[in-house]
């Protein structure tokens, strides 16, 4: 890797790879602008990083982009969509959200609301993408992964299934001081599928951060992604 750059308080890292490939690691969708920063500041810091990375010259030169979400604690879905908007030139639907709205009937939901992806008015990368996921890809890391599933250009998921915890959570403070959380939303694909519990599966399975991988100083998922984008696998 060359030209490694950190943005958003270290939660976003970019580096160039040999063969005109790029590597983008995202460990969360928030916390970019400091503790208790308003959303506008978070968005501005994200845009600053994206504008630095996705320059006109680089977006024209790149032949493939690895997006590493294998350690991603989630955050803001809308910040994730803001990144996806820099990865397409064609509008499409990321997913549809619905919420349970009847405490007596868990099968009752609100009408699904599509979440659109509208290409940003800024330099965009629209070539092939390999997305690395694993069991520590959580919440907004998963909705970001789902938002890339119908991306019009080739996008391949490599690694292990995500954790399977998508929804925002309704919080309640109990009398004994415990906090109780209840997720009540579903994120739907265009066919109406959800991935709660199971997580989003990879299309190409590889070990992620196992003892065997560490012992051999190996990263099979990353290597597979690079080989795939380079046309070698």
Which pLDDT tens digit goes with each residue over 111-167? Answer: 999 999 999 999 999 999 999 999 999 999 999 999 999 999 999 999 999 999 988
DSSP 222: H
- Count CB atoms within 10 A of the CB of residue 9: 16
On whether the pTM is more than 0.85, the answer is yes
Model confidence pLDDT, tens digit, residues 57-92? 999 999 999 999 999 999 999 999 999 999 999 999
Which H/E stretch holds residue 50? Answer: helix 39-53
Q: Residue 211, SS3?
A: helix
Query: CA 152, CA 149: separation in Å to the nearest integer?
Result: 9
Question: Are the CB atoms for 24 and 66 separated by under 8 Å?
Answer: yes
d(C-alpha 158, C-alpha 70), whole Å: 10
With contact defined as beta carbons under 8 Å apart, do 132 and 68 qualify?
A: yes
Torsion (CA) 170, 161, 77, 32 in degrees, nearest 10:
110
| Contact predicate 60/123, CB 8 Å | no
């Amino acid at each position: 890797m060359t030209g490694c750059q950190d943005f958003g308080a270290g939660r976003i890292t970019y580096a160039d790879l040999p063969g005109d490939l790029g590597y983008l690691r995202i460990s969360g969708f928030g916390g970019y602008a400091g503790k208790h920063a308003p959303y506008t500041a978070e968005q501005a810091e994200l845009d600053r990083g994206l504008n630095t990375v996705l320059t006109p010259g680089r977006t024209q030169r790149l032949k493939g982009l690895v997006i590493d979400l294998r350690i991603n604690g989630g955050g803001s879905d809308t910040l994730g969509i803001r990144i996806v908007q820099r990865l397409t030139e064609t509008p499409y639907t990321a997913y549809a959200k619905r919420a349970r709205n009847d405490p007596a009937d868990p099968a009752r939901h609100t009408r699904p609301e599509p979440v659109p992806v509208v290409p940003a008015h800024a330099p965009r990368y629209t070539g092939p993408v390999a997305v690395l996921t694993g069991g520590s890809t959580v919440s907004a890391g998963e909705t970001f992964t789902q938002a890339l599933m119908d991306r019009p250009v080739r996008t391949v998921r490599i690694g292990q299934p995500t954790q399977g915890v998508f929804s925002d959570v309704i919080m309640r403070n109990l009398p004994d001081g415990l906090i109780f959380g209840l997720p009540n939303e579903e994120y739907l694909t265009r066919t109406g599928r959800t991935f709660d519990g199971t997580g989003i599966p990879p299309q190409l399975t590889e070990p992620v951060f196992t003892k065997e991988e560490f012992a051999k100083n190996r990263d099979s998922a990353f290597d597979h992604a690079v080989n795939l984008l380079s046309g070698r696998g």
